[in-house]
Amino acid sequence: MAQVMMKDLNKKYDEVHAVKDVNLHIRDKEFMVLVGPSGCGKSTTLRMVAGLEEITSGEISIGDRVVNDLPPKDRDIAMVFQNYALYPHMTVYDNMAFGLKMRKFPKVEIQKRVQDAAEILGIQELLKRKPRQLSGGQRQRVAVGRAIVRHPQVFLFDEPLSNLDAKLRVQMRVELKRLHERLETTAIYVTHDQVEAMTLGDRVVVMKDGWIQQVGEPLELYGRPANKFVAGFIGSPSMNFVDVKVADANGALWAETQGIRVKVPPIHTSRLVPYKGQQVTMGVRPEDLHPASGSDPREYCFDAVVDVVEPLGSEILLDLRVGNNTIVARVEPTNRVKVHESTRLALTPDRAHFFDLKTELAI
Amino acid sequence: MRVATTARRRDIQVAYLLLAPTLLLLLTALAYPVGWEVWTSLTDLSPLKDGPTAFVGLENYRRFLADPEFWRAATVTVVYAAVTSVAKLSLGVGFALLLARPFRGRALVFLAIFLPWAYPASVSVIGWYWTLNPPIPTAYSVFMGNVKYAVDGVLGGGAWAFLSVTLFNIWRGSSFIGVFLLAGINAVPPELFECAVLESKSAWRRFWLVTVPLLKPFLALAVFLSLTTAFADLANVWMLTAGRIVYPVVGTHAYWLAIRGGQFGPASALSLTLVPFLLAVLLILFRMFDPPEKERA
């Protein structure tokens, strides 16, 4: 039973305030992903949980114990590093047994645990090899194995898949998810890849500049981003942002800018009333734009000129120009629109987002 | 088939062409002098002798093996090399570990550790000489004078001089080895050390189980450099004692014979006597630090 609590957690280096007032409750058995661009403080946060970085202020507890002053070894955690951190002078077996040996486990117990882990990961054949005789994917399995054998209360993953090629990354992602379901151990996973975050996390923490931006389940972050940063960070291709003026006409609110005049969807109307006459940022995801057809209400349509066509097979990405804005739309692969042609687009009304221009918070 | 063979032959020719400068350098700067020395050691070559140089076979070597003076110099050399190497390595590892992590004033400590080696030997020697034999009479110079008499009184005349040479070698050598091993530590991904921190509280165990094995190639090279410079040391001993050598090492002994005594043959033989011994040590060293590994398919 191990939940992880972070209370008012801060990390300051000489000039950099890397982690700012982080409060986070990671539940027992939860797979929590910390995601954000480089330098956002996610790795530093993880390293403070591990005990590799000192805590400037605040409190971390694992299970029921405050671990601020506990040496890493006594925190009952196991960490998997981005570059695997396998010892080149040891065999796979010795690498996996390392932590147990350091803790003076009996030999029989070590052997059993290493065998079990090797079996789970399908690396029994590799136990006598040295790390340099392994492929990247195999090395990462060994690194995960070294963590598993310790039966820790919490797994810490620091960008474990970033060194793998794209195909292997997808494969290992699935394996990690399966592994977590099997072991049911609390896990904190750091990545800069929002796809990894969305697919692996029970919940996801988005960080930027040391601040937590939002904590939530993947679809919650996708559907109801708390601010413009989260909206742009989660989802690929990124959400389109257009600065619009909120105008009042014919008893309804309209979002207007050069080339676009769409009605504010009913679900947003009440919240946008105070912004009447002001500028706000409208956000629409590429997948929430589609070629307009007769059934689309006219007040949600606008015209755009195609700049670039990117056929991806399962879909086509259109880069379009509307007034001074460039936007991306994700359309069906059967779409036959050509470069420089004008096309009429419609947006899915209840999927539009609005953000305060100054605070960038969702309205 | 024929085309391929021609292309391959041309590749080999180009390879030799590219190797030629290095080979030329090795032949003129290394192989020729060593060959000449081996040949000289088998003769009675001397600028002081009239008449033709005679081939004397192993006579020069035989004379040394029977000469207690040689055995004394050889013993002193081995002790000198062993003591300085152990001390330099321990201090060097300590310096490297100290400098590997950030702390306030690290730059100054780094400078202090690096300077003895960064200065030319001649300057370092004078600095060292004056530290142990202050040129200006002060309370300190009186104190150092007493130390010298005390050491010489217990261990015999010249002991202090030799001790100061040993200390100088350690002072200057540990500086170099420290910086060298620091480069080694910096070349190891930090995660490998961090991973050990996660598993053990004991810095001592982590040092022996992780740091030492990871630094093996660097340690081997450090020991190698330390041993060879100590075995071949002549300049430091000579400069620090101004030639008043009571405890000769093989290097100074050979220098005396050749330059002062004009006996090129015996001097060459003398300087070559340590070679087999040194080779054996190096072989053991590399076996120890870099064991030949059975690669698996």
**Nearest CB partner across the interface for B191, out of A85, A99, A103:** A85
Q: What is the largest CA-CA distance in chain B?
A: 86
Smallest CA–CA distance, residue B224 to chain A, in Å, is: 21
**Do residue A72 and residue B205 have CB atoms under 8 angstroms apart?**
no
Spell out which chain B residues touch chain A, with contact meaning CB-CB distance below 8 angstroms.
189, 191-192, 194-201, 205, 209-210, 213-214, 216, 293, 295-296
Cβ A73–B205 below 8 Å, yes or no?
A: no
Length of chain B measured in residues: 297
**Which residue, chain included where needed, has tokens 């769409």?**
A262
As given in the structure block, the two tokens for residue A202 are 């029970």
pLDDT digits (tens, 9 = 90+) for B217-241: 888 888 888 888 888 777 777 777 7
- Asked if residue B255 has pLDDT above 90, the reply is no
Closest CB to A83: pick one of B191, B201, B210: B191
Residue A252: partners with Cβ closer than 8 Å, 6 or more residues away: A263, A264, A269
Question: Are B198 and A82 inside 8 Å of each other by CB?
Answer: no
The DSSP 8-state label assigned to residue A341 in this structure reads: -
Residue B293 has pLDDT above 60, yes or no: no
d(CA A249, CA A262): 11
Q: From edge to edge, which strands make up the β-sheet containing A342-347?
A: A289-291, A342-347, A301-311, A316-322, A325-331
| Residue B206 host element (H or E) | helix B203-206
Q: Contact, B151 vs B163, CB < 8 A?
A: yes
CA B129 to chain centre: 21
Tell me if B199 and A103 make a contact (CB, 8 A cut-off). Answer: yes
pLDDT of residue A1: 60
Q: What are phi and psi of A260, to 5 degrees?
A: -130, 135
Cβ separation A72–B198 shorter than 8 A? yes
Per-residue pLDDT at A246 exceeds 60: yes
**How many degrees, rounded to 5, is the angle at CA A357 between CA A353 and CA A360?**
65
Domain boundaries, chain B: 41-296
Nearest to B192 among A73, A85, A103 (CB): A85
What would the pLDDT profile of A95-149 be if each residue is shown by its tens digit? 999 999 988 899 999 999 999 999 988 899 999 999 999 988 899 999 999 999 9
- Look at B214 and A87 and tell me if their CB atoms are within 8 Å: yes
Residue B295 confidence class, pLDDT cut points 50, 70, 90: very low
Chain B residues touching residue A76 (CB < 8 angstroms): none
CB pairs under 8 A between A and B: 55
Q: What is the mean pLDDT of residues B10-17?
A: 92
Contacts of A50 (CB under 8 A, 6+ apart): A72, A75, A77, A79, A156, B198
Residues A53-75 have a mean pLDDT of 92
Query: B198, A74: Cβ pair inside 8 Å?
Result: no
The upper half-sphere exposure of residue A259, i.e. CA atoms within 13 Å in the direction of its Cβ, equals 17
Counting residues of chain B whose pLDDT is more than 70, the rounded percentage is 94
Q: Report CB contact under 8 Å: A72, B296.
A: no
What is the chain A residue with the closest CA to B215?
Answer: A89
Written as six digits, the tokens of A90 are: 């040891």
pLDDT at B296 over 50: no
Give me chain A's average pLDDT, please: 92
Query: What's the CA gap between B231 and A318, in Å, rounded?
Result: 74
CB within 8 Å: A50 and B200: no
All residues of chain A having their beta carbon less than 8 Å from the beta carbon of residue B192 are: 85, 87
Best CA proximity match to A113, nearest among A152, A160, A158: A152
Q: At what angle do helices B68-100 and B212-231 cross, to 10 degrees?
A: 140
pLDDT above 70 for A288: yes
**Does the beta-carbon distance from A82 to B191 stay under 8 Å?**
yes
Preferred mutation among A49, A53, A89, A154 to probe B, highest tally of B CBs within 10 A: A89
Chain B residue nearest residue A89, CA to CA: B213
Please give the average per-residue pLDDT across A31-37, as a whole number: 94
What confidence score (pLDDT) does residue B203 get?
A: 87
Optimal mutation site among B101, B191, B198, B216, interface A, most CBs of chain A within 10 A: B198
| Six token digits for residue B279 | 């080779």
What is the reported pTM? 0.81
d(C-alpha B167, C-alpha B96), whole Å? 19
So what's the pLDDT on residue B290?
64
Residues of chain A positioned with their CB less than 8 A from the CB of B213:
87, 89
**Mean pLDDT, to the nearest integer, of B153-169?**
83
CB < 8 Å to A85, chain B: 189, 191-192, 194-195
Q: Is A85 in Cβ contact with B195 (below 8 Å)?
A: yes
* pLDDT-based confidence at residue A30 (cuts at 50, 70, 90): very high
For residue A27, give how far its alpha carbon lies from the nearest alpha carbon of chain B (Å): 23
- Cβ proximity of A361 and A227 under 8 Å: yes
Q: How far is CA B210 from CA A31, A87, A92, B38, in A?
A: 31, 8, 15, 44
Residue B297 has a pLDDT of: 36
Please indicate whether residue B259 or residue B10 has the higher confidence score (pLDDT).
Answer: B10
Q: Which amino acid is at A260?
A: I
Give whole-number Cα distances, B185 to B114, B190, B221, in Å. 16, 9, 14
Q: How far is B193 from chain A (nearest CA, A)?
A: 9
B contacts of A130 (beta carbons < 8 Å): 293
Which parts of B66-187 fold into alpha helices (H)?
68-100, 106-118, 121-132, 139-155, 159-187
CATH of domain B41-296: 1.10.3720.10
Among partner residues A78, A102, A133, which is closest to B296 by beta-carbon distance?
A133
Top residue of A69, A74, A102, A155 to mutate, by most chain B CBs within 10 Å, is: A102
Q: Among A40-44, B107-111, B247-251, which stretch is predicted with the lowest mean pLDDT?
A: B247-251
Residues of A in contact with B195 (CB under 8 A): 79, 81, 85, 98
- ipTM higher than the 0.85 cut: no
What's the gap in Å between the CA of A286 and the closest CA on chain B? 40
A183-216 residue pLDDT tens: 899 999 999 999 999 999 999 999 999 999 999 9
The mean pLDDT of chain B is 84
pLDDT of res. A284: 94
